[in-house]
Homo-oligomer: A and B are copies of this chain.
Amino acid sequence: MSPAPAPSTGRWPRPLVAVDVAAFTVLESDLKILLIERGLAPRALALPGGFVRCGDVVVDQGEDLEAAARRELREETRLEDGLIGQVRLRQVGAFGAPDRDPRARVISVAWLALVRPELAAFVRAGSDAADARWVRVADVEGFDLAFDHHRIVAACLARLRRDLWEGDVARELVPRAFTVGELRGVVDAVVGVPGDAANFRRRVRGLVEDGVIVEVPGHRVTARRPAQVYAFA
C-alpha cells in the first residue's frame, strides 16, 4: 500500500530495488539471450541490470521502473539512446525471495526486451560489465548465473513464448522488411521446434488480410527462389 507512520525518513529497514533485463534476439536461427560478465562483486555471468535511481527522495523521487531498465540496458550494452528507444520493454514480475542475494535484501523487477538482429550486433560491454555477449538459450542452463537469474530467465522465456503471437512479439524480433521464411525462422527459433511451413504461410496471409502486415514492393533475392517481402504495418 504505502507509508503511514514513517514516510520519507526510513525508520524501517529498506530493501534495495533493482531491475534486470532479459534481452532476447534471434541470430543464426537460434534464440539468444544477452548475458554480461559482471565486472564487480560476484564475478559471474548475469543479466544486465542495476539499481533503480531514487533521486534524493524528497523533491525528486527518481526514475520510473521501466526507465531504469532501459537505462541499465543502454549503459551495459552501449547501445545508443535512439536504438534503445525502439526496444519495447515488458514487465515480467518482481523477484524478492529473502536470500537471493546473500549480501543484502534486494528486490528485483524483471523486464523482457526483444532486440532486432540488426541491433544485436551493436552491443558491446559497458559500465559495470566486463563483457557482454549473446548466448544460445539452449545453452544457458549449463552456465553459472549470478543470484536467482536462472529463475528470472526461465520466467522471461516462458513469457516470451506465451506472447509470441498475441501482443505482436514477433514483430520486434525481425528486421523491418522480412520474408515469410525469415519470419517463420524467427518464430521457430523462439518456439524451439519447427512448425509446418504451409500453415505458417496461411497464418501470415491472415495477418495481411487483417492489415497487421503489409506487402512491400520489392523481392528478396536469396540463394533460391526470390520471396515476397513484407513489413509490419
Contacts and interface: CB of A to CB of B under 8 A. Distances in A.
Interface of A: 1-5, 7-8, 10, 12-20, 38, 40-42, 46-57, 61-65, 72, 91, 93-94, 96-99, 101, 103-109, 128, 146-147
Q: Which label, helix, strand, loop or mixed, suits the secondary structure of the A interface?
A: loop
Contacts of A96: 17, 52, 64-65, 109
A228 to B, nearest CB: 35
Query: 9 closest pairs, A vs B, by CB?
Result: A1-B49, A4-B40, A4-B41, A7-B103, A61-B98, A14-B14, A65-B96, A13-B54, A94-B94
Report the copy number of this chain in the oligomer. 2
Contacts of A18: 1-2
B61 A2 contact: no
B2 A108 contact: yes
Contacts of A10: 14, 16
A21 to B, nearest CB: 9
Given A3-B104, A3-B106, A4-B128, A15 B98 contact: no
Contacts of A38: 1, 4
Contact of A54 (B46, B65, B105, B146): B105
B147 A1 contact: yes
A1 B50 CA distance: 5
Contacts of A16: 2-3, 10, 12, 14
A28 to B, nearest CB: 27
Contacts of A105: 54-55, 57, 61-62
